[in-house]
Structure 1
């Protein structure tokens, strides 16, 4: 009888031990996440990559934060009110501590928000330069003054670039020191950064929301898709971003992890070098390239059907974007050949370089390979240059050294149409990369930034979107539909802003 009971109970005991082991490695009190890229440093005002903010969001808090449904919720600010057309009052949460134990005060908020608003040399400046000043009323209250009415001020203050930092610490170590050893008020505190390898954080016991469920949060950098998947299945990591669609069944069959659709506001694009002397300065050539790309076939071939063709940076869930540009394509290879001939290029007479990152996006190199085949079909020779993300940023993207076409994916942390187009204004980041400049476009975008009437604002942005699309300075490919892999011992749901907010992650109940 005892032997029978022992034989019956042992499989259950073994299963329980395995579950416990899974929690101790997945929870273990360590939660390990892998992305394709590393952070460039921890200067929260001087970067522009969503995958970087996905790390930062665990270290820093905003005045306001979006929940999993995209709704604005109180964070470091407990309430806010519009006190005039150009002023909004924020009451700050009491008892919030920075990771060094110092208490958050209004001066820290003023310091943190005015820097990206006033320093034109920072990457985040164009998102915050509507702000004129932050007035300190007392230690627990500030008023944010804008130059003109700002219909999306709350969007700005709940996104990348508006994390609150301790003024006293930056005054002591400078931004160079801060960029390697940051301090915030987030649920995790900084421990270590091994460049191109990992960022290690530990739970902040005195966080105002309470203690996270995990002792340590580790963000690993693993550019290769296959390696990330292998690490997920071996238990080396608990969450893997950008799972290739062809690996979904492999993950499912493992019994150790699951895949989940990861809805995204991200749109994949090609930036065109329109500088004088470039073949792409000719609008006929740009249109030919646009018409040669079959977005639906690109999605089906490279992405296993995960994506929606677009002709603008539009996606459901974004405000003030023209959805007539969503789920549409102008594919016409015959017309592309005629346009090339009209521009003076016969078959094989035009050569273009296609540059892009390797490991930043799911199947990014495969995307470029499929695009190259499509362009070669209409007679354009293509040279592909795929670079690791940091090399791509430093050699091609940030120095504005696009040689022909450059692949990039842009998300929308403002979750508004203004974000999608504002950097294409003359002299701004996208304009510098493409050399496209359109005064009417600038006027429309600028009007949208100060117009509080939603209908009128939609009209301005719709015209701006269509002018940008028609310029073909940026060729829009498809809205991304990502896949994320999650260890079964972890209970967490991804959100379309692509943030890896791990305060909400819990050990799975069994």
Structure 2
């Protein structure tokens, strides 16, 4: 493939046309319809890590803690908590008079059942157990009090309890109905209860008026599974969905100009980088890695491909992440300096740089083409290798089969740099197939033992600076979270992490 040296000649192409505007709004009063890309296949909290699961299930389930769109942690099914026994025990006071959707009472026994299940054999089958393995056991103090006995400190645990695997489930219902039935007929304590699930088609919820936080203003929440972004936009324009979660950057202006629609573009958790092979090829050399960073104009890529719906990053986290250092600046784009550094490192002209990426990501394909154009301008020989996501994520990366660079997109739903940094840079982790840095390992392990917020934040920022100095990746951008929303939707508090909570939302 021949790559141009200038953005003008890079040949960026984005869809700019849609089918004509279809019929007017067809939704019933009191019902909001949301489109997400993926059907998780199971609604059991311990079975998935998919954001699209939480986009729907965050309305069905509650955790002991909660986190709203404002990113602040607050009480959920626990009204308060305190650290005991030198931080080795966390005591939770539970909300009283709460019921599951099937009428089963919520109490300390339900919390213990939830975590015994998560940390036991059933939890081993899913991807969530490892997020909570700092918990040794849960002990019932009384009907409204539980203690979490910790194996080791976990300063991120309270945030984790607000989502995914830690959502509280009903013991009697699961024991009577079985795990498989629960997967497709979920019961929680959330503001909306399960009505119907049609695999690959939709999930329907209806209001649970007895919710402890008050009755929702909506009657129903319908989640439709639509994997094609253009189809989501077409359905949004036709009024058949109210919220679209897949808006191609090229179609954002189209949505923005629509009379009946609003485009919401906000800072989100998703960051994108080209991780670098520190073991093989020219990228073994730290100075070569820095030259590659300086040789790619990230600002131009954000402008041309993302149409401005993103921000440059200096480390692999968004500005919303705990541990982000606003004083840390990315290496500047400097083609001449980058060429000089490659010459000093004795990198031969035409040296290969292979970029492995997720072949289903049309946006990143354009980003990769742009990056390859800049690498060619450095005198290198770039190549692009697309893979099916399961192959790239479960074989090529963890088994160390990548080229010099590979595509990594990461959400970090806890908005805590630990959730990213430990998994990306600690030796032996799935996403770190090449690097083994004892100093970095030590820093990553140490921050997990610190509950003091200021002390831990300082260490996380030090980790970010250390990673940047070693140039372990080319940090590309923080991608905005974009929604298309019908104007009939009122009081929609757009979450940056797509974990919707529609309790206060209404529709006209």
Choose 444-453 or 464-473, whichever is displaced more: 464-473
Q: Are residues 1:304 and 2:303 paired?
A: no
Secondary structure (helix, strand or coil) at the match of 2:408 reads strand
Q: Matched residues in 2 for 1:106 and 1:100: separation? A: 17
Residue from 257, 260, 272 that aligns with 1:256 = 260
Q: Matched residues in 2 for 1:282 and 1:193: separation? A: 52
Q: Are residues 1:291 and 2:284 paired?
A: no
In the other structure, the counterpart of 2:84 is 83
Q: Cα distance, 1:174 vs. partner?
A: 5.1
Secondary structure (helix, strand or coil) at the match of 1:450 reads coil
Q: Matched residues in 2 for 1:179 and 1:402: separation? A: 36
Change (3 A) 1:418 1:184: same
TM-score by length of 2: 0.83
Q: Are residues 1:416 and 2:416 paired?
A: yes
In the other structure, the counterpart of 1:484 is 483
Q: Cα distance, 1:478 vs. partner?
A: 1.4
Q: Cα distance, 1:399 vs. partner?
A: 7.9
Q: Are residues 1:406 and 2:406 paired?
A: yes
Q: Matched residues in 2 for 1:320 and 1:270: separation? A: 21
TM-score by length of 1: 0.83
CA contact (8 A) 1:86 1:150 kept: no
In the other structure, the counterpart of 1:266 is 270
Q: Matched residues in 1 for 2:302 and 2:56: separation? A: 28
Change (3 A) 1:252 1:296: closer
Secondary structure (helix, strand or coil) at the match of 1:48 reads coil
CA contact (8 A) 2:62 2:162 kept: no
In the other structure, the counterpart of 1:18 is none
Q: Matched residues in 2 for 1:470 and 1:329: separation? A: 10
Change (3 A) 1:411 1:348: same
Unaligned runs of 5+ in 2: 1-23
CA contact (8 A) 1:242 1:482 kept: no
Q: Are residues 1:464 and 2:463 paired?
A: yes
CA contact (8 A) 1:90 1:143 kept: yes
Choose 343-352 or 227-236, whichever is displaced more: 343-352
Q: Cα distance, 1:342 vs. partner?
A: 6.5
Note the aligned Cα RMSD (angstroms): 3.1
Q: Matched residues in 2 for 1:235 and 1:393: separation? A: 36
CA contact (8 A) 1:310 1:329 kept: no
Deviations 1:64-107 (A, max 9, x none): 11233222222211222333422222122223222333222212
Deviations 1:135-184 (A, max 9, x none): 11122211122234443432222233311112334444554553344322
CA contact (8 A) 2:353 2:403 kept: no
Secondary structure (helix, strand or coil) at the match of 1:296 reads helix
Count of residue pairs the alignment pairs up: 479
Q: Are residues 1:211 and 2:206 paired?
A: no
In the other structure, the counterpart of 1:140 is 144
Q: Cα distance, 1:488 vs. partner?
A: 0.9
Residue pairs, 1:93-112, within 5 angstroms: 93-112=95-114
Change (3 A) 1:108 1:396: farther
Q: Cα distance, 1:271 vs. partner?
A: 3.1
Q: Matched residues in 2 for 1:342 and 1:242: separation? A: 44
